[in-house]
Amino acid sequence: MIKIGIASDDGKNISAHFGRTMGFVIFSIDNNKIISKEYKPNTFTGHARGIEGHSNMSSTHSSIIEALKDCKAVISNGMGRRIYEDLRAAGIEAIITTETDVDKAIELYLAGSLKDNPDSGCSH
């Protein structure tokens, strides 16, 4: 079984910014079929805790990587290049998509047709 996390403020639409998302829809997948879907509130990113700016950020994204370590992949409409690379270095596939619907994105991911647009991420 694998897990896929999708950044979402409301459980339906994909968040525009990975670190500022209100939470993550976590899908459990077995044999390419959705077994369960749960919403995990974002209590672990600096942006979600009201910590802004590089001077207040740790040099790593250890809290979010730890919180999502069970996920094979995470999906968002945008994220900074540093977290994109840190997730990948931790063995978590990071995907920046233009798709906005959570359920459609998981369908596309499972079909192998969800496009990653790493250059459309945030510039910070």
Tell me the C-alpha distance between 52 and 76, whole Å: 20
Residue 27 located in a structural domain: yes
- Number of domains observed in the structure of the chain: 1
Residue 49 located in a structural domain: no
For 112-121, give one letter per residue: b (16+ CB within 10 A) or e: eebeeeeeeb
Residue 48 located in a structural domain: no
Q: What is the CATH number of the domain that holds 81?
A: 3.30.420.130
Q: What is the pTM of this model?
A: 0.87
Residue 95 located in a structural domain: yes
Residue 34 located in a structural domain: yes
Tell me the residue range of the domain where 29 lies.
2-43+61-120
| pLDDT more than 70, % of the chain | 83
For residue range 29-80, list pLDDT tens digits in order. Answer: 999 999 999 999 998 876 555 555 544 444 468 889 999 999 999 999 999 8
Q: Is pLDDT of 104 > 80?
A: yes
